[in-house]
Chain A
Amino acid sequence: MDVMTALRTHWDRLAAIASVIVGLVSLLLGYIGVSGTEYVVKQMPYIIANGLFGLFMLGLGTALWLSADLRDEWRELRALRIAVNEHGIAARTADAEGHPTR
């Protein structure tokens, strides 16, 4: 799998990484903004806009990554169930016809 194909098919993981990076940058900017002023009234917008937004993006990134993992697990399980079902049908057919499956 080349890089472009990986990026296209794993766009949800890419979005997760981007969300986490945006969240970290937002937290850093918030820290810089808060440390640049002495007044709490001026610090509060940084806390809300950068601090809470950064936490939101970190949570979103985590959820996106976990959902990508869940989707992969679900696809593997579905493929396994399809394979098992097909193998069972093939084995029953072979038994009915008196042939070994292998």
Chain B
Amino acid sequence: MTTAVREPRARRAETRAGTARVPAYVLASQRRTRRAVLRGEGPWRRPDRLIAVGGCLLGLAGLVVCSWAAAGEVDLSTQLRWLLGGIVSVAVSSLCLAYSLMSGLRTLRIEVARVLGTVQPAWPTTRAGAAGSGRAVTVTGMRRHHHPDCPLVAGKQVRELTAADIADEGLRPCGACAS
């Protein structure tokens, strides 16, 4: 279970103690209501929802048809065909559900990128800060630059980089140390 479920209790305790200063619009945005869920608030677009619900209904209908048809058969080979149909129905619905989950995850990553895009300009020690102060390093063959203390370059033959080097070589920042 995620932090969204656990947080309100802690927040109430902080509010009682007089330490929390969470604006009302943030609390309203975090609040989980049945109407919000039913209204479709979430990381899914309308086509994603249609694919998930449609796939489930299609799989369920296929299962009902295959089950009903197989129950009326006495020939094993014919029953095996209906069994195959049932397996295909379950596979279709599973694929649709998996697609829906992946789509939600993708939207979540976009949201993370938006948050980081808002936060990082106000955080000069990341990215350009480390590279600009000459504290970025890389290893020959790597396509990312790292902080000297990054565990990914620990014990390796590193070379110092300047901001110009990073731009020239087209190096991307390390995802672990955010150099």
A-side residues, CB < 8 A to B, are 1, 8-12, 40-41, 44-45, 47-49, 52-53, 55-56, 59-60, 63, 66-67, 69-86, 88
A79 and B90 in contact (CB under 8 A), knowing A60-B97, A71-B43, A74-B43?
Answer: no
Which residues of chain A have C-beta atoms less than 8 A from B97's C-beta?
59-60, 63
**Majority secondary structure, B binding face:** helix
Question: Per-residue 0/1 for B50-77: is the Cβ within 8 Å of any A Cβ (1 yes, 0 no)?
Answer: 0010001001100100110011011110
Question: B10: CB under 8 A from chain A?
Answer: no
Q: How far is the CB of B124 from chain A (nearest CB, A)?
A: 15
User: Which residues of the other chain, B, contact A71 by a CB distance below 8 angstroms?
Assistant: 37, 41-43, 104
CB distance from A49 to the nearest CB of B (A): 4
Most buried by B among A55, A69, A71, A84: A71
B162 vs chain A, min Cβ distance (A):
30
Chain A residues, Cβ within 8 Å of B82: 44, 48
A-B contact pairs, 16 of them (CB 8 A): A12-B37, A44-B70, A44-B80, A45-B67, A53-B63, A56-B60, A63-B97, A66-B101, A70-B108, A76-B2, A77-B108, A77-B115, A79-B27, A79-B30, A83-B23, A85-B118
Cβ of B138 within 8 Å of any chain A Cβ, yes or no, is no
- Does any Cβ of A come within 8 Å of B176's Cβ? no
Nearest-Cβ distance from residue A83 to partner chain B, whole angstroms: 5
Residues of B near any A CB (own CB < 8 A): 1-5, 8-9, 23, 25-27, 29-30, 32-34, 37, 41-43, 52, 56, 59-60, 63, 66-67, 70-71, 73-76, 79-80, 82-83, 86-87, 89-90, 93-94, 97-98, 100-101, 104-105, 107-108, 111-112, 114-115, 118-119, 122
Q: Chain A's nearest CB lies how many Å from the CB of B142?
A: 30
Say yes or no: A48 contacts B111, CB within 8 Å: no
Q: Which of A10, A52, A73, A82 contacts B25, CB < 8 Å?
A: A82
In angstroms, Cα B144 to Cα A31, docked, is 54
Contact A81 B63 (CB under 8 A): no
